[in-house]
Amino acid sequence: MKVQEVLGLDQKIYTETLENGLTVYLIPFPNRKNYHIDYVTKFGSINTTFIPYQKKDFVEVPHGVAHFLEHKMFEQENGVDPFQYFSQSGSDANASTGYQTTSYTVDGTSDFNGNLDYLLTYVNSPYFTEENVEKEKNIIIEEINMYSSEAESRLYEESNKAVFKYHPVRLDIGGTEKSVRKITKENLYDCYHIFYQPSNMILFAAGAFEVDEVLETIKNNQALNKKITHQEIIEKKVKEPISVYKKEKVIYLENILIPKFILTFKIPIHHVKKEQRYEYATKINMLVSILFGSSSSFREELSRLGLMCVFSVSKAIIDDFLLIEFTSEADKPEEVKNQLIKWFEERPITKEDVERMKKVCISEEVWNSDKAFPSLLTLKTNVLEFGNPVYDRLEIVRRVTLDDILNVRREIDFHNCSFAVGYPKEQKPKRENKGKRK
Amino acid sequence: MKYQKKSMGSYNLHLIQTDRFKSISIDVICSNKAKKEEVTITNFLSSMLTYSTKEYPTRQKFATKLQDLYNAKIYPYCYRLGNLYNVDFNVRLLDEKYTEEHMLEETLDFLVKVLFEPNVENGKFDHTSFEVIKNEETALIKRWKEDLRKYCVYEALNAIDPDSPFSINGYGTLEDLEKITEENLYEFYKKFIDGSDIDVFVIGNIDFQIVERMIRERLKFRVFKKEKEDPDLPVLPFRKKPQTIIEKEDTTQAKLTIICLLDKMSRYERDYVLNAYNLILGGTADSKFFQNIREKYSLCYYVNSAGNKLDNLLIITSGITKDNLDKMVMLIQKEMKDMEQGKFSDQDIENAKKYYGTILDGVYDSPSNIISVYYSQELLKTDDISERRKKMNQVTREDIMKLAKKIHMDTIYLYGGDKQ
């Protein structure tokens, strides 16, 4: 395996791409007990229109298929539930579906190789029948109902629909009750054969294990070795406009007392070359942390203006867009939004701010490198978002200057943002109800 | 890993030496009897103390200082533990190997300012900081009900006994918040800092003698040493038949909460058998609930159980379609009856033990978990890790069946699910 050190962090990343196309990334932690395995396919809710294996024409599958498939992966022909297998060693298994990936995980402290082998076996052994597909529908609809009862996920959904005009990230990851009812076992196999090819998948592991044994286990896994699909993945991609679709979206939510909003800045990054995107994202992170992080006086400024607000900020990359999302609760959302944009755009930044933030970022990297799980997440994010692990992260931070930060800020179009706000339903304007029905 | 406990007069100092981590963790645990009327002000105070100090009077100055200490962190964590309401002041800093010399001392100096030199002038907390925290606490109190799972558990517990500490809402109330002023907060601070029962933990690659001296010179609590409060809540009388409470609300999914009361348990039952019982019944994705109710009947996406040994409770939560309530309750009762009658496999017992073993193994990977194991030994007189492993492995089917008979379904609470 290729091994390379993450500079300054006492951490090594082992990498190998197997003949069948599967790429493996490992970060061993010799003095720890826990391990985390994450087997990922680059297939999520946004991959809805593609050419299936050995076919010529595009199909469009019902929304929520990736998530449905994730649930059904746990169905095995021999009737053994994978959860039962993993509990024998007291390990935890789980899976999750996002916009761009589906991920199967195992966490434990013993029987690493047995668990890894089983993980590869069950994810490489689909068994979808009409009966078991039907049975799953009610479970998934309860899951969708659970999220739709939660104010935050409702608002998040609306926010995505306001930011994007065509991009399928507008659609809910789980689909809707209607789309889920339509899903067939053929849909699942169509997706499975094309998106679960080894070359579209990545295996990550971090924690307590022996590097040599890991590769051995993978190479000897029969279910994985049986996979012979090699077909280019051709998808229909939509062209998403640079502008946000809607500048504002207002909804009314049950069970909330304070209005909530999500303010999203939609920043196109088409022009930033893939290999420079990490650096770009780092500068954006630093900019946001300087202005809104723990040492910022933004909260005091709001309080001074008599505005009540709590907020958090996060960043996401969706294809060629970088999104900065402020999620907030505020008595007067509109006023807070205006203050926030103003602060973001105009608040002076000094050289000292940047130097201190560099110290913070570097310390943060050291913190994360001390724990297996955050290390795995960093690795995974970098591989999925930027194509490769980033070994010179600390160097990249050290190189950043005040001018860099001011430049990235200058490039942002602060008007290209969407404002999704949810008010308590009690605040909904009552319609005049003429001609009452009996 | 080495451990040393030392009485410092007004508090206990626990030192743990290990070279497994790149950081040093310091926890100052302040414990008081849980009182409904003091929760809001305790939360408020803990946020206030970690927002600004006399020497660092604005948020910017306070946070900048922490960033200069290589992004050291200090955050309060308030929680109820049976009869007690605790505030942990958690301090995290990088080992000096990754930063520079004297960072531990400087960080401790900072902690001293947080605990003993609050942002107070003329007997009043600083107005600006006060307003920011008040805003944030208001938002937290207003928001917590949005977490329907938590809200429903809270309502169900209140239906059982509104006066029991288990019915305390850990976020506090708006009424109590309105009563807090810059003056009475300072009065409360004095009472809190001089009256809490205190344990201090330091874990990292540390020298016991040096750190003990550093702490002794700095942390000077004036607490009058007393016996620790008993954290256990009393056993409540249980009903013959559970009560059902249905609250109508226009949501798609109905939230089901079932509270079971536990009869008097031995320490062994409380610390081990209850764990095994819960893991088998509804604690994992391989549990009876998950495998039978979710997978066989497709009635829900989640159905979990969780035991609370100090409150003497077992709490079951799920999200369902309202029409399925009776069926769901019947299936849950059947699973619980099966536990009483020993209808579970040897493999189930083995898996529960393995699962518990994994949790114990994992303790060593996290400084916070190591601290909580030692704290629980101190407070709850629980066993150390190797003893825990041994005793858990001794749990038998009969033990589990015997405990199962002590579990009584008390209240079935259903919220919402009325949207068409």
- Please state, as a whole number, how many other Cβ atoms lie within 10 Å of the Cβ of residue A193: 17
Q: How high is the pLDDT of residue A429?
A: 76
pLDDT band at A437 (very low <50, low <70, confident <90, very high): very low
Look-up: residue for tokens 């209850």? Answer: B274
Q: How high is the pLDDT of residue B419?
A: 86
Q: CB-based contact (8 Å) between A134 and chain B?
A: no
Mutant choice from B73, B96, B143 vs A, greatest count of A C-beta within 10 A: B143
Residues 6+ apart with CB under 8 A from B308: B166, B314, B315
Of A423-427, B217-221, B313-317, which has the strongest mean pLDDT?
Answer: B313-317
Partner residue facing A359 (CB), from B70, B131, B299: B70
What b/e sequence results for A128-165 when a residue is b if at least 16 CB atoms lie within 10 Å of its CB, and e otherwise? beeeebebbbbbbbbbbbbbbbbbbebbbbbbbbbbbe
Q: How high is the pLDDT of residue A430?
A: 66
* pLDDT over 70 percentage in chain A: 98
Q: How high is the pLDDT of residue B329?
A: 97
Q: How high is the pLDDT of residue A309?
A: 83
B71 to A138: CB separation less than 8 angstroms, yes or no: no
- The average pLDDT across B386-414 equals 97
- The average pLDDT across A253-275 equals 93
- The average pLDDT across A405-430 equals 93
Q: How far is B237 from chain A (nearest CA, A)?
A: 34
- Lowest mean pLDDT, pick from A270-274, B49-53, B118-122: A270-274
Question: ipTM of this model?
Answer: 0.87
Residue of A nearest to B291 (CA): A81
Mean of the per-residue pLDDT values for chain A? 93
B146 to A366: CB separation less than 8 angstroms, yes or no: no
- The average pLDDT across A48-68 equals 94
Q: CB-based contact (8 Å) between A34 and chain B?
A: yes
Partner residue facing A87 (CB), from B21, B58, B284: B284
- Please state, as a whole number, how many other Cβ atoms lie within 10 Å of the Cβ of residue A246: 16
A363 to B347: CB separation less than 8 angstroms, yes or no: no
Q: How high is the pLDDT of residue A425?
A: 87
Contacts B362 to A, Cβ<8 Å: 33-34, 109
Structure token pair of residue B21? 């981590």
Q: How high is the pLDDT of residue B12?
A: 94
Report the alpha-carbon distance of residue B66 to residue A323 in Å, rounded. 29
A297 to B59: CB separation less than 8 angstroms, yes or no: yes
Q: How high is the pLDDT of residue A230?
A: 79
A304 to B68: CB separation less than 8 angstroms, yes or no: no
Q: How high is the pLDDT of residue A434?
A: 47
* pLDDT over 90 percentage in chain B: 90
B285 to A372: CB separation less than 8 angstroms, yes or no: no
- The average pLDDT across B216-238 equals 87
Mutant choice from B64, B151, B354 vs A, greatest count of A C-beta within 10 A: B354
Q: How far is B410 from chain A (nearest CA, A)?
A: 25
Mutant choice from B107, B177, B301 vs A, greatest count of A C-beta within 10 A: B301
Mean of the per-residue pLDDT values for chain B? 95
Structure token pair of residue A80? 């053994």
Partner residue facing A359 (CB), from B60, B71, B255: B71
Q: CB-based contact (8 Å) between A372 and chain B?
A: yes
Cβ atoms of B86 and B79 closer than 8 Å:
yes
Residue of B nearest to A137 (CA): B298
Report the alpha-carbon distance of residue A120 to residue A200 in Å, rounded. 14
| B391 membership: H or E segment, kind and range | helix B385-393
Q: How high is the pLDDT of residue A29?
A: 96
- The average pLDDT across B134-158 equals 92
Q: How high is the pLDDT of residue A271?
A: 92
Report the alpha-carbon distance of residue A232 to residue A195 in Å, rounded. 10
Q: How high is the pLDDT of residue A255?
A: 80
pLDDT band at A438 (very low <50, low <70, confident <90, very high): very low
Cβ atoms of A90 and B357 closer than 8 Å:
yes
